[in-house]
Chain A
Amino acid sequence: MAIFSPQDREEISKLLAGLIEPVRLLLFTIPQSGLIVPGRTVCETCDDTQNLMQELVELSDKLSLEIHHFEREPEVAQRYGVERVPSVLVLGPEGGRVRFSGAPVGREFGSLLQDIQLISRGETLLEPATREAIGAITTPINIRVFVTPT
């Protein structure tokens, strides 16, 4: 069953029409078989997240989706610092990246769309002073933002 309604598809397509550079989305997931197997990770939102991402990338030819199995491709997960599923990474052409842990739904879906647009246009809305201050820091900065979907 489709996640997006025809109206959703139309609105999202409009937002994505302004994309300039290609944007890669990476999904790390553990597909669910429906069987409960002791020891196997249960990921309640993995399959929904995969469906959502697949529907999303259909709406723009600038978007692509790579799906990685979190348990079977540990080296890829490690390369991108992914520790949980589902995780969605938005990758720009210049190494920019943002990671979503958990299904990006509700308000976070809006954030995801905005991130895609900004990364594709290669622009952010940061103040020049912010850019200068962050650019002057040489150590890694790891920012965790906890959210809920409402």
Chain B
Amino acid sequence: MAHQMAMEFEHVHADVIEANEFPEMAGYFGVDGVPKVIINDRLEFSGAIPEESFVEAIRQAVGLIGETEQTE
């Protein structure tokens, strides 16, 4: 899903990172399971989530909706 957003929109960048090859980075972001998604280095979630929830997470990460509405 992240890939497709990045393809469609210039302002979306998706970086798929192989956690085993970059352990320092995975450690820095506290990756303990995959897939782990981190948006704007601010908001994270693990596992696959519905598209609608992904969009909500992005809106939250960019500050469009409050953090209290976060569902984990």
Q: Give the residue among B13, B16, B31, B39 with the most A Cβ atoms within 10 A.
A: B16
What is the CA–CA distance of A132 and B13 in the complex, to the nearest angstrom? 17
B14 to chain A, nearest CB (A): 5
Q: Which of these binds chain B: A9-17, A32-40, A117-125?
A: A117-125
Across-interface contacts of B10 in A (CB, < 8 A) = 95-96
A79 to chain B, nearest CB (A): 13
Across-interface contacts of A92 in B (CB, < 8 A) = 7
Interface string of B16-50 (1 = CB under 8 A from A): 11111110011001010011111111000000000
Interface size class of B (residues with CB under 8 A): 35 or more
DSSP class of A's interface residues: helix, strand, loop or mixed?
mixed
Taking a contact as CB atoms under 8 Å apart, the answer to whether B17 and A137 are in contact is: no
What is the CA–CA distance of A53 and B62 in the complex, to the nearest angstrom? 35
Across-interface contacts of A115 in B (CB, < 8 A) = 3, 7
Interface size class of A (residues with CB under 8 A): 35 or more
DSSP class of B's interface residues: helix, strand, loop or mixed?
mixed
Partner of A144, one of B8, B17, B58: B17
Across-interface contacts of A104 in B (CB, < 8 A) = 16, 18
Chain A 67-111 interface residues, beta-carbon cutoff 8 Å to B: 81, 84, 92, 95-104, 108, 111
What is the CA–CA distance of A40 and B19 in the complex, to the nearest angstrom? 22
Taking a contact as CB atoms under 8 Å apart, the answer to whether B55 and A134 are in contact is: yes
Taking a contact as CB atoms under 8 Å apart, the answer to whether B7 and A118 are in contact is: yes
Across-interface contacts of A129 in B (CB, < 8 A) = 52, 55
Taking a contact as CB atoms under 8 Å apart, the answer to whether B5 and A130 are in contact is: yes
Is A1 an interface residue when CB atoms closer than 8 A count as contact? no
A110 to chain B, nearest CB (A): 12
Q: List 19 A-B contacts (CB under 8 A).
A: A100-B16, A101-B16, A111-B16, A129-B55, A133-B58, A137-B11, A137-B64, A139-B11, A140-B13, A142-B40, A142-B41, A143-B2, A144-B39, A144-B41, A145-B14, A146-B19, A146-B31, A147-B19, A147-B34
Taking Cβ atoms with an 8 Å cutoff, the residues of A that contact B are 44-45, 81, 84, 92, 95-104, 108, 111, 114-115, 118-119, 124-127, 129-131, 133-135, 137-149
